[in-house]
Amino acid sequence: MAKKLLPMLIAGSALAQQPATELAPLEIIAPESKDGIVVTEDQFSHTPHRTLGEILGRLPGFSNRSFGPSVGQPVIRGQAGPRTKVMRNSLGTNDLSSVSPDHALGLETLSVERIEILRGPETLRYGSGLVGGTINVVDGRIPENLPDHPLELSGGYHYDSPSDGHSGKALVDLGAGPLALHLEGMRRSNGDLQTGRGRLDNTSGEVRSGSVGASWVGAQGFVGAATERLEKDYGIPSADGEKADIELRQTRYDLRARWYPASPHIDALEAGVNINDYRHVEFEDGQRGTLWLRRAVESRLELTHTLFGTGGSLGFQSRYGELSAEGEEAILPPTESETYALFINQQLSLDAFTFSLGARVEHRRIDAKDFSLRRDLPISGAIAASWTHGNHHLELSFTTTQRAPNPQELYVHGVHIATKSFEIGDPSLDLEHSHQLEVGYRLERTLLAAEINLFQYWIDNYIFFNNTGEIDPESGYFIFRARQKDAFFRGFETKLDFTLFDNRFGNLDLMLFSDYTRGRFEAGGDIPRMPPLRYGLALNFEHEGLNLNLRLTRAESQDHPGNNEASTPGYVLLDLGGKYRFQVGKRTQIVLYAQLNNLLDQTVRDSTSFLRTIAPGPGRGFNAGIRLNL
């Protein structure tokens, strides 16, 4: 393995930091590139945030693919898994969350500082076939700057009543000369989830995480390293009384560097390497079952430049991974994979117009036991153009991208107890080829902001697991076969922000929002597990350190569930919360917060979830907590 790892250690990169402007009514920061959004810790820390999918599920166009309270994968415009990449500090999580919906992401949301979401040409810097987009979780484990004081402390505690959940974290930042040290520890525990229909058995869990990072920081950049240990134990809800639990263990090592040379054409050179050792054990009725192992090394090298009046970046990315399973549910063969990619992204501004171009060429080799060696060469390109005139902003983008099938889609064969299915892959699957067209308009005035995004995706050879309606005679589960069909997705996201008043008594904003995604096969039939039509309103009041908010969301029923799939009823969510921030002395800041969730005690069935018929979302409850910065 060492020989295979060596070429991976030559490169790495962190996501380039871009200036940001705040759109206060939505509490979302839009980068200057207009290709993405940024959500900061202060905007989600006072809400339930057990999983990344739960955090992002409130944003227009996003959903939470839950598998009980401990697992929630983000869905963007109906796209999840391999079509939506989740990264940590610009490098992949390299866990098993894309292999099965019951596998949790290898990250802890308590450590999140901000979440960056990229679409359009920017996504090609990080992968191929990312129809939904790219989600980059920034956690600050490797310091990029020296702390303002030699010693800085922060921490917090959070309580969640529907799951009787307790979570806490503590962070220490030290600075001495050019050296910066970052230490953090987190712990989370919860009992069985209380839903709108009663207690959901076997959904308790516990998470423990700790990391240490250090950097040398100078006038021309930094170089740093970090290591983290993550342990997650959680239960999987079941309708037939079978008790399934997962014990996840992960050790991650990261190395990152950024150099700002004294050059008129080279803005920055960034490098990063991640080594990830992941494993989890699945227990069935308390008996040790299948052991899953994944070892991966990923690296990036990216050069940001300014040439001939244009700005952009070019770079190299590589990844090596090993995947194996041992035990009764070892439904995938031992697999080795290598990926190498070259990418480029360029921007050009001409008066009121801005043009962006992106391209990526990727070579992937995958070697699975008892199967022929497979090689794929996905090629992708994207173009975006935007026009700004006064308060008006118009943007049009088009992306064409290819995706190679993942090991599960190619080689899986056997009983999958968590999803109650018998899955059969297809080694002859072709590349997916998607064409994505999006148009967006934004109006920004003093007392009014409006935004609408329309999108249409055409995906040739769309890969999915089709519920055949046949029953496996031994397990009694439905048989799901990997298939390919041409498909299309269309939808919209829209919001209107009104400032009702802004004076010495405070600021009151009203937001109206809606989103919708419809997925269909070209030959007829619905794509399963699509989000429903949603719409609602939110009120936000601010005065000095006080913030009060009310949010009402209506989700319509999903009556297009797909072949042999169950539909889901609509629901109404009403949430009410507030937080208060105050200063003690010159350095100490305290934030107190509380929120009442699902005040109507609705039974929320997530149409994007495999467990929508047996595992509803949280019922009526509250969460509260405190954050400290010293």
Read out DSSP for 401-438? EEEPPPHHHHH-EEEETTTTEEEE--TTPPPEEEEEEE
Beta bridge partners of 447: none
Residue 28: pLDDT over 80: no
* 529 three-class SS: coil
DSSP code of 34? S
Please indicate whether residue 30 or residue 246 has the higher confidence score (pLDDT). 246
| Bridging pattern class, strands 36-40 and 114-118 | antiparallel
Residue 531: pLDDT over 80: yes
Mean pLDDT in residue range 579-595: 92
Token look-up 């050179």 returns 269
What secondary structure does DSSP assign to 327-338, as a single string?
A: STT--S--EEEE
Instruction: Provide φ and ψ at 38, rounded to 5°.
Output: -130, 130
pLDDT the model gives residue 359: 97
Whole-angstrom distance, CA of residue 152 vs CA of residue 587? 9
Token look-up 């990830």 returns 276
> pLDDT tens digits, residue range 112-165?
888 999 988 999 999 999 998 999 999 989 999 999 999 999 999 999 999 999
* 82 three-class SS: helix
Mean pLDDT in residue range 415-440: 92
Whole-angstrom distance, CA of residue 381 vs CA of residue 400? 5
Residue 110: pLDDT over 80: yes
CA dihedral 111, 66, 75, 292 (to 10 degrees): 70
Structure tokens that stand for 447 in this block = 């007392």
DSSP code of 47? S
Whole-angstrom distance, CA of residue 243 vs CA of residue 264? 62
What mean pLDDT value characterizes the chain? 90
Residue 94: pLDDT over 60: yes
Structure tokens that stand for 155 in this block = 């921490």
Please choose, from the candidates 219, 215, 165, 211, the residue with its C-alpha nearest in 3D space to the C-alpha of residue 186: 211
Beta bridge partners of 548: 541, 578
Q: How confident is the model at residue 586 (pLDDT cuts 50, 70, 90)?
A: confident
Q: Which of 202-216, 224-238, 277-291, 594-608 has the lowest mean pLDDT?
A: 277-291
Structure tokens that stand for 510 in this block = 């009203």
Residue 27: pLDDT over 60: no
Residue 284: pLDDT over 90: no
Residue 24: pLDDT over 90: no
* 53 three-class SS: helix
For residue 73, the Cα-to-chain-centroid distance in whole angstroms is: 7
> pLDDT tens digits, residue range 599-617?
999 999 999 998 888 889 9
DSSP code of 12? B
Q: How confident is the model at residue 29 (pLDDT cuts 50, 70, 90)?
A: very low
How many beta carbons lie within 10 A of that of residue 442, not counting itself? 20
Q: Which of 96-100, 487-491, 600-604 has the lowest mean pLDDT?
A: 96-100
Token look-up 């076969």 returns 481
pLDDT the model gives residue 327: 85
Structure tokens that stand for 21 in this block = 């402007």
Mean pLDDT in residue range 63-81: 91
Task: Provide the phi-psi class of 327: left if phi over 0, else alpha when psi is between -120 and 50, else beta.
Answer: left
Whole-angstrom distance, CA of residue 22 vs CA of residue 43? 12
Token look-up 């997962």 returns 246
Q: Which of 1-15, 183-197, 260-274, 402-416 has the lowest mean pLDDT?
A: 1-15
Whole-angstrom distance, CA of residue 91 vs CA of residue 126? 8
Element (H, E) at 319: strand 310-326
Close Cβ partners of 320 (under 8 Å, ≥ 6 residues apart):
4, 5, 8, 296, 297, 298, 336, 337, 338, 339
* 44 three-class SS: helix
Residue 34: pLDDT over 50: no
pLDDT the model gives residue 585: 84
Q: How far is CA 580 from CA 487, 539, 548, 551, in A?
A: 48, 17, 9, 18
- Burial tier of 524 (Cβ tally within 10 Å: 0-12, 13-18, 19+): exposed
Token look-up 């599960």 returns 408
Q: How confident is the model at residue 2 (pLDDT cuts 50, 70, 90)?
A: very low
Mean pLDDT in residue range 456-467: 95
How many beta carbons lie within 10 A of that of residue 204, not counting itself? 21
Mean pLDDT in residue range 267-285: 94
Q: How far is CA 245 from CA 194, 288, 357, in A?
A: 18, 9, 46
What secondary structure does DSSP assign to 156-223, as a single string?
A: EEEEETTTTEEEEEEEEEEEETTEEEEEEEEEEEE-SEEETTEEESS--EEEEEEEEEEEEEETTEEE
Structure tokens that stand for 144 in this block = 């990029």
Mean pLDDT in residue range 526-553: 95
DSSP code of 620? S
What secondary structure does DSSP assign to 356-368, as a single string?
A: EEEEEEEEEEEEE
Sign of CA dihedral 515, 409, 279, 238: positive
Instruction: Provide φ and ψ at 25, rounded to 5°.
Output: -60, -30
Confidence (pTM):
0.89
Please indicate whether residue 58 or residue 579 has the higher confidence score (pLDDT). 579
Please indicate whether residue 160 or residue 68 has the higher confidence score (pLDDT). 160
Element (H, E) at 305: strand 287-307
Residue 626: pLDDT over 50: yes
Q: How far is CA 92 from CA 254, 259, 543, in A?
A: 11, 22, 40
Residue 523: pLDDT over 70: yes
Domains by residue range for the chain, with CATH: 2-629 (2.40.170.20)
Residue 95: pLDDT over 80: yes
In 67-143, which ranges are E strands? 72-76, 84-88, 91-92, 114-118, 133-138
DSSP code of 160? E
Residue 4: pLDDT over 50: no
pLDDT the model gives residue 36: 63
Residue 17: pLDDT over 70: no
Residue 566: pLDDT over 60: yes
pLDDT the model gives residue 99: 81
